[in-house]
Every structure is written in structure tokens, then in C-alpha cells.
Structure 1
């Protein structure tokens, strides 16, 4: 009888969980996300064939969509268990959500284990919050024995925050103290950090160090090397040399080819980029949205629109960054109408314009001196809940300064008030003139909550004092 009651209770709990999941799946937001998923799936099938269907229709597949679209709360509700919630939040880099799950877990008298602290460290590392990662490492250390993965997470937290020396200390000093020699995961994290800073020689030295330690570099290692080579003074030659090193050891993938394409885009060599795209196809590597974006960026500004139309006619995979390259080209010559037209085309393709595309259109308006249009695009940007950046407000300010004195003073005051609302520091620059700068320089451009609680009127009054 006791076993029967336990079984019935377990089945009842499962039914409640399933009912909870079904109720979440019936919410309007979730329905829209599922529709978006189906559209993405159809687009993937058109590009990659029916193989794109594999693994999509599952709760795990939906979890990936929620994480990608930053719908972490819906994902957490659907997944149900605290462990899955923490994993979802950690994968999405949502530190606050992961820590809230931990609080709920302790409130329900659930004891954390090493994996619990590991997921909290992972969420901290993804957003470069080294202090929070260290806090959770100490909590882990007080109750459990850390393993190599935890030391790698600590190194990653510092690498993402930009503190390469501290990350290397955790990788090559702290971990070996506990008997953990760096593995390829740690080396690759360090390579990614060096790549982001364009430190080519240091990256080559690190690969040599790994081989001396009998740690074999893998595909990701060489892709990082190609990526950092693309940022050197001679991007094409360096990237091709790194690609040849990779090709001599293993089969390159799309990322490998795209990194070389990026080097050609930086050099503005569209002919070489087109030839490289053909080589990619000959190697049976399917070009993706990154490949097409690189090809468009490689073209001269006046030819980017033509290349985008050509790729669309070929039914190539395009993303918002392909359109961003064309919009930026229009902005460079102050063609605000063409920039707006391409921006609208991106919206028609349901590619969700971002802060980069809006900034380019506003910059085009500023170059033309069209302050009315710049204001409209800023308002539309905020209406779409896209956060303006420092460059956004400076572009609008540049446009409005070409107005008459009376209108300019009024408009600049309104823009200054709006900038304060988004955490931008306002400075006085003479009579009724303003300049903007960053209020804080946080790792990975993290938002500071204190910046958003500033009294707007007081800040503007102080700026004008």
C-alpha cells in the first residue's frame, strides 16, 4: 500500500508538471515563439535540407529557442526543476536568474551540490563577473572539492572580463597547485581571449606551449588562431597561413573558412572573398549567414547593395548583419533615404534590426543634417525597446546642432534628458550645449543599476551649472 501511494503521488506530480508545461505552451508569448521557431525551421530546411528537422521538436529543442531569444523565465517555468532552471540560466548567461533559482532552492530546503555551484560559476563566467565567480568558487570550496572544470570557469570569468593575467594565473598556477594540469578547454579559453584582443604572437606562443605540455590543439584552437590572424596588419596573408596549418592537420569547418573571409572583408578584397567562397563550396562546406555577411562587407560601399541583391537572388542565407553592412555603406555617404529603405527591407524579411542598424540610419541622417529624421528613428528605436548607446545620442546631437539656435537648444535639452535615462553621462559644453560620455565602464558592457536611478532633472541642472 505504501508503495502504491508513493507511485500515485509521483504520477500526480508528473501530471501536474505536464499540465504546467501545457499551460505555459498556451501563453500568447510562447505561441509567438513557437511560430518563430517553425519559421526558422522552414528557413533551415530550405538551406540545409530535411536534416535540419532532427532534434527540433523536443523540450530541449524549445529550451534552446527560449535561451536564444532571452525568454529565460518562460524556459525556466516550462522546464520545472531547479537544476534545469539553473542550467538554462547559465547557458543564457543570466546570472541574476541563476542566483534567484539558487535562493528558491535553499528556501525549499534543497541542498546544493557541486553541480549547483558549478552552474552559478558558469553563469558568472559567461558575463565576465569574476568577483561573483570567485564568490561561488569559495562557497563550493567550503563544501566540496573543486575539479578542473571549476578552475577553468574561474579562468574564463577573468578572460571574459578582459583580465588575461588573472585568468592565466588560475589556469597555470592555481589549478596545478591542486594537481590539475591545464587541458584543451582551458587553452582554448585563453586563445579566445587573445583572439578578441588581436594578440597574434601570444596566441602562437600559447599553441606552442600547449603542444610542449602534450595537449593537442583541436579545431577550435586553430579557428581561434585564424581569427586572430585576420586582425593582424596583413590579415589575408596571416589568415591563409593559419588556415594552411589547420588544413595540414585536420578538416576545416565553416568557422575556419569564415575567419579567412573575415580577413578578406577587412582588407576590402571582394574578388578574393568570392574566390574563397567558391573554394568553400568545392570543399563541400555550406556557406552560412556569416559567409554571406563577410562577402558583402568585402565589397566597396557603393557595391554592397548589389551584392546583397545578388545573394538574395541565389537564395543564400542572410542575417541582419548582411543588411547592417549595406546600411552602414549608405551612412558613410549620408544617404539616409537608402539607409532607411534597407532598414525597412530587413524588417520585411523579419530579421529584427538591432542597435547597429538603427545607429547607422541615425548616422546617415546626421551626415545629411536631417535632425527630424534622426529624432524619429531614435523614438522608433526606443519604441522597439532597443537600448540606445553613446554613439546613438552623439549622432542625434550632431544632427540637431545644424538647426536654428532656439530649436537646437530645446531639442538638445530633450536629448540630454533622454540620454541620462539610459545611463549616459551628460556634460556641459558651453551655452545650452551638451556632450555625452559613458557613465561607467563595466566588464562586457554590463548595465549598472545605479546609473538608471539618476534624477534626470538634477543631472541636467548639474550639467548646465
Structure 2
């Protein structure tokens, strides 16, 4: 009789647990207490289980305390109740007090830590369980694989994989899916495929995890093939699987016809499967079209969503932001507010990003001012905006306001600020940012370190920059590029080459920035042989079609005097932008090929490329150096009328120089008087320099008088006018100019020049012999009043000459 009554009560409690009927369960509990049948430990355990499943840990604990006797099931039931209520600290205490623990006890604790996100603690518990000599079950391993995936504990995950095979549960659906997800999160796609192949009957979770791993590693085609396999095997396709594949098509491949076909097919499949009213899938469709720039389709989806949420609005705003449509993004935010939605942090970040991409920082500032309590991401967005448009002073001011509001910077903040300090030469401010990075323990970050290197490099502090580089715990290609560029900027080309070779020995693949910097080093020193070696490496590494590398190659060959080599590379470039055209035109100009430069400029116009200020500087220089005066004037006059480019000082200087070289000094003087920049000393220096060739004293005297009024302390006008008088044999006037220069206490720094000679055949005793003979010949040729040095660098002899004061300095233009 008693046994039958106990079974009935147990069945009733089981029904209450299944249906989570807390009220009925309490009535049964009261009945047990009234009948005085409280000695059955099985019923007490079921009561704890009931309160646990109904999320009433207080009642469960009350039952546990009142129990006259407890077994391991009682302790496990109470443990489960605490873990279900996320009271892991209390559960840990209870676990430590247990007189006896079994696998269920350990599984309960491990699962509890995994669910609350304390994966490190879950892994520690698992290792302790193994040390206790207990074998894991499928529940243990499923939880552990999940923890290993989130924590990227790949080594431990592999060990547990072997353990799962040994225990014989690796083909279990839950264990297999957890194992597959772990490899997917650790981006071990081949291992994920193996785990997938071991599953006897993969379900939608298996396929979705595998597709996610392929997408994360950019193996998009394979992800699409897995989805097709899933569809062919008639595996249930749910909203999550479809959303995952829609994310694949939202990967920025909007211009690819294949991806457009796939996105339409997936859209049609979602409609066919009846998911048109699923809000989650609707937002995924919206996100796919928005990221691919198809805003017309996105608008249609948006209008037909069964339920518009803040997420939907944010996706639309981000979509227009990606297209630099600041006006549409702002309009959407206004509509969103009219519909009763309050912008959240994501909304403001999307709007700020849109404004920054559109370089509309003023509107961005207005949006930023609306945020009651801006997050660090919002501050960083605004700082980045001001920095990108070159308003570095405002960047610093905004950061100071951020400090006043007690918002702590992160590595992104400091990297932006260091970039602004480097661009504006604010070394002291940069040092303060450096101090902040030390205080926040961010100085060892690679991005902050790279910013510090750039700051000190541009300030001429290469010793500090190099010290920062060597102290970084981990360096990447960006850090190497920063130091290499710093050496080049400070004319330390040898150090640039040495560090570049170190980078190569570490098996780091140079970027286009690395190669552009090294080519610049070769160009500055006219190292044609090293330049050809770099060119060979560029071909090998596949950077020949890069615009930055291409322009640097043209510049290097032109500065080394190999214009034909530069033109061959120019013709081989598949895509030419204005930078490439400018480099080649400038190369012709600097090497005296004026006719070729003008012809190339005409080809540029025929190709439909729009010239800029640099184009006109290059072509006008070419006309000036080659005596193409009328051609130069025609191009100069077409700047504003045909191309809407306002002439700058450099353009005017080139025209004045061209007229001066042709002896048309009065035309040059007349043009200067009409120029908006007629008070710039450079223009008058160019005119005065031209007067020496044609011994036009009257124009020279007027140019000297103008220069004297503009800058009496400059030595250039005195030297130029003195040389003109000397060339005409008017020694008294020349002496008067030198005396005036002395009276005004004006001194002239020695000029410098160098030449290069190939000495590959100089060996042994002949090496020193040729150097001494070269030195004697130069003493005879230059005279004792000149100072020179012969430097031997590799296979090149370099002559360094300090010019005497009587030599005229070459003017710009």
C-alpha cells in the first residue's frame, strides 16, 4: 500500500516537473508533509528537482536543508538548482562540501561555468575531474569542446578529441557538433571537415557550423557548396542556416554576378520555405542587400518587414553610410525618431562613420553633440574623422575634452593622436601621448608602437624610434615599415636597406609600402643597381601592378637617369592614374626631355585623365628646361579655362623661369607684376638668375631692389647680382655688392654637389691608386679654394664638393 502511494506521488511530481507546474507541485509537497510520509528520500529528491526546474532555488534549498537524510542524488539535485539559477559561487561551496561526488556532479559544475561564460574555470574543473580518475561522458565533452572553442584552447581541444575517440562518443551528435564548432571557432577548417565526416547523420547544426568556419576563413565558394549539399540531402534548413548563407553573400562581393545570382536564389528559397515573416531572417536579407550596395532592394525589404526594429533602422543607415550618402543616413535617423525609435549607440556610430566617410565632419560633430554620454567608440570615430581630413589641431582639442570627461583612451585613440602629432610636428604633445600610453600599459601594442615610431622619426629622433622598435614584444610588417620609412626620411638609407634585409630574413612578405620606401631610398641616392634588385623582388612578389609601387619605380629610374627604363615600366602598367602620369611627365622634365613630356601630356588628355596641380608643375618645368616657352604659356593659360585648376606659386615660377631662360625678361617682369603672388622672393630670384645669362643690368637691379626690400638678410640676391657685374667686367659694382653684403652681416653657406663613378674594376693596389689620382686631378681642376671628399661606397666612388662663395646657387624653378 505504501509503495503504491509513493509511486503515485512520484508520478505526479514527475508530471509537475515536465510541465513546470510549480503551484501543483507545492500542493503535493504540502500533502507529503501532512501525511507524515517525509522519510522517502526519493520524493525529497524529486521535490528539489521540481523547484530547480521551476527556477525556485530558495524553495529547493529549503527542502535540501530539511531533508532527514541525503544521498549523492540529493546533492546533485541541489547543485543543479544553484547552477540553473546562475549562483555559481554558492554551487562551488556546495560542491566542495559534498561527501561524495560522481560524474554528474562534475558535469553540472562544468556545464554551469560554460553557460555563464567562465570558460577558464570550466576547463580547470575538467582537468581536476580527470585527475580524480573519472572518465568524461558525452555531456562533459560537449561542454569542454564549447569552452575550448570560445577560449581558442586548440591544444586542449585536440587532446579531448583523442579522449572522445577513446571513450567512443566522438560520433555522438552533441559531441560531434560541439567538436565541429570548436574547430570552426579556432579556424581549423580541415579538422572541422574531418569532424563533419565522422558524424553518421549530420544535422542543420553541423552544416551551419561548417559553413561558418568556411566563411570565417574566406573560403566562400566551399561554404556555398556545403549549403548546396545540405539542400540536396534534404536536411532541415532553418532561419539560422539561411541567415548564415545570406551573411556569405553580404561579404562585399556585390559586383560579382555569381554572388548576385546566389543572393537572389537564397532570397527566393527563404520565401519558398515560408520565412518571409521571420524578423531575424528579414534583417539578414536587409543586411545582405545593404552591404552589397543594392539599396533599392534593401528599401523594398525594409518596407515589407513584418516588424521593424532598431536593428533594421541601423542596417539601413549603415548601408547608406557605406555609399557615402550622409544626407540619406541623416534622413533615415529623422524618420526613425518620428516612428518612435530612440537612436542607440550603434545608430550614432553608423551616422558618425557615414559623416567621416563623406568628409562631412561638421554634421558628424552635430550628431556627436547629441549623444548624452558618448562611448569610447564614438570619441574614436570623431577623432578619426578630424584626423582624416587633416584637421589635426581639432583632433588634439577633442582629445583634451575627452580627458576632461574622464574617458580613458584605448590603443585606437592613441594611434590616431600619434598620427596627428606626427603630421603637425607636435613633438611635445606626442611625448605626452607617449606618457599616457606608458601609464595605460599600451606602449607595447603594435599599433601604438608604430605610431610612436612615426612620431619620433618625423621629428628627427631616430635613436628613440629605433629604441621603441627594439622594445616591442611583437612586431609586424607595419612596425618594420614605420622604421624603414623613418630611416629613409632621415637620410639613413643604409640603415633602411639593412632593416629591409632583416625583415626578409624573418620571412615577412614586404608590402607595397615597403617596396615604395626602398625604391625611394634608391632614388634619393641614385642607386640604380640596388633599384634593379628591388625591382626584381617586386616582380617575384607580384606587386608590379600596384599604383604606389609603380609610381615609385618610375621615379627611381628617372632619378637614376634611366628614362627609357621608366617609360618601359610606365607602358607596362595595366592601370594608370594621375599619379603614374605625373611621375612619368616629371621624369621627362627632370632629365631634359621636354618634347617627350609635352607629348605624354597630350596623350594623358586623350586618355581622359584629369590633370591636377602636380601635373602642371611637371609639364611647365619640362617646357622651361627645354625652351618650349610658347607651349608652356599655352598650357599655363589653359589651367583655369579648360581644367579649372588655379595656378599656384610653383606654376608661376615655372613660367617666369621659362621666359627668363629664353631671354624674354621684360615679358617675365610684366607677368610678375600681374601675379597674385608677386611679393614672393622665389619669383624674383628666378628672374635675377636669368639676368646673369643675358647680362640685363636694368632688370637685374630692379629684381635686386625688390628682393632687398622683401628679405635683406638673404645672401642669394647679393651673390646673383655680384656675379652679373663680374661677368660684365664691372668690378667696382661687384665690389660694392660684396661690401654691402658685409655691412649687412649677410653670410652664404657653402653649396654642395656630388657625382658617382663606377669602380667595379678597382681592386687591390689599383683601388688606392685611382683614388689618389682622382684627387690630384680634381685639385688642379677645382683649385685650392674648393673643399671636396671622395667617398667609396660599395662599387661606387662619390665626389662631395663644397663650393666656394663666389659660385651662384641654383634657384628653384
TM bucket (normalised to shorter chain) is: 0.5 to 0.7
Distance 1:22 1:74 in 2: 20
Q: Which residue is equivalent to 1:432?
A: 530
Structure 2: how far apart are the matches of 1:408 and 1:211?
54
Q: Structure 2: where are the runs of 5+ without partners?
A: 1-72, 77-100, 125-142, 165-174, 520-527, 544-813
Structure 1 residues 330 and 348: alpha-carbon distance in aligned structure 2, compared to 1, 3 A threshold? same
The 3 A distance-change label for structure 1 pair 216 and 371 is same
Q: 2:318 aligns with which of 214, 227, 230?
A: 227
Equivalent residue for 1:173, pick from 265, 274, 293: 265
2:383–2:395 contact (8 Å) kept in structure 1: yes
Residue 3 (structure 1) aligns with:
none
2:510 pairs with 1:412: no
Which residue number in structure 2 is paired with residue 154 of structure 1? 245
Bigger RCO of structures 1 and 2 (CA < 8 A, at least 6 apart):
1
**Partner residue in 2 for 1:255:** 346
Give the whole-Å Cα distance in 2 for the aligned partners of 1:440 and 1:114: 41
1:388 match: 477
SS in 2 for 1:332: helix
1:115: how far off? 0.9
Residues 53-100 of structure 1 deviation map (CA, whole Å, 9 limit, x = unaligned): xxxxxxx9xx89984x7566679999995544544665x5x431x653
Aligned partners of 1:244, 1:265: CA distance in 2, in Å? 19
State how far apart, in whole Å, the 1-side matches of 2:499 and 2:307 are.
60
Determine if contact 1:154/1:167 at 8 Å carries over to the other structure. Answer: no
Name 2:508's counterpart in structure 1. Answer: 421
Pick closer, same or farther for the CA change 1:75–1:328 going to 2, 3 Å. farther
Q: CA deviation at 1:137?
A: 2.2
Deviations 1:82-125, CA, capped at 9 Å, x for gaps: 544544665x5x431x6535635765x66532211111112323
For the pair 1:243 / 2:333, whether they are aligned, the reply is yes
Q: Which whole-Å CA distance do the structure 1 matches of 2:158 and 2:108 have between them?
A: 14
Q: Deviations over 1:3-54 (max 9, x none)?
A: xxxx9xx984445657989999xxxx958x99xxxxxxxxxxxxxxxxxxxx
Instruction: Please state if 1:288 is matched with 2:383.
Output: no
Q: Is 1:100 equivalent to 2:191 in the alignment?
A: yes
Match of 2:202, SS state, is coil
Q: Per-residue deviation at 1:305?
A: 3.3
The alignment partner of 1:160 has SS state of: coil
Shift of the alpha carbon at 1:403? 3.6
Q: TM-score, normalised to structure 2's length?
A: 0.39
Indicate yes or no: 2:400 matched with 1:309: yes
TM-score w.r.t. structure 1 length? 0.64
Instruction: Give 1 or 2 for the bigger CA radius of gyration.
Output: 2
* Per-residue deviation, 1:130: 0.7
Q: Which runs of 5+ in 1 are unaligned?
A: 1-6, 35-59, 442-465
Task: Give the number of aligned pairs.
Answer: 383
Q: Does 1:119 align with 2:219?
A: no
Q: CA deviation at 1:172?
A: 2.0
Contact 1:125–1:158 (8 Å) recurs in 2: no
In the alignment, the residues of structure 1 paired with residue 443 and residue 159 of structure 2 have an alpha-carbon distance, to the nearest angstrom, of 26
Give, in whole Å, the separation in 1 of the partners of 2:157 and 2:428: 40
What are the Cα deviations for residues 358-383 of structure 1, in whole angstroms up to 9, with x where unaligned?
443333344345554444444444x2
What is the SS of the residue equivalent to 1:245?
Answer: helix
- 8 A contact 2:246–2:266 mirrored in 1: no
Q: 1:140 — aligned with what?
A: 230
Is the 8 Å Cα contact of residues 393 and 415 (structure 1) preserved in structure 2? Answer: yes
Over 3 Å counting, the alpha-carbon distance change for 1:330 and 1:365 in structure 2 is same
Question: Could you say what the CA RMSD is over the residues aligned between the two structures, in angstroms?
Answer: 4.8
Q: Which shifted more, 296-305 or 320-329?
A: 296-305
User: Against the structure 1 CA distance between its residues 213 and 234, is the aligned structure 2 distance closer, same or farther, given a 3 Å change threshold?
Assistant: closer
Shift of 1:245: 2.2
Aligned-partner Cα distance in 1 for 2:308–2:364:
27
2:301 corresponds to which residue? 210
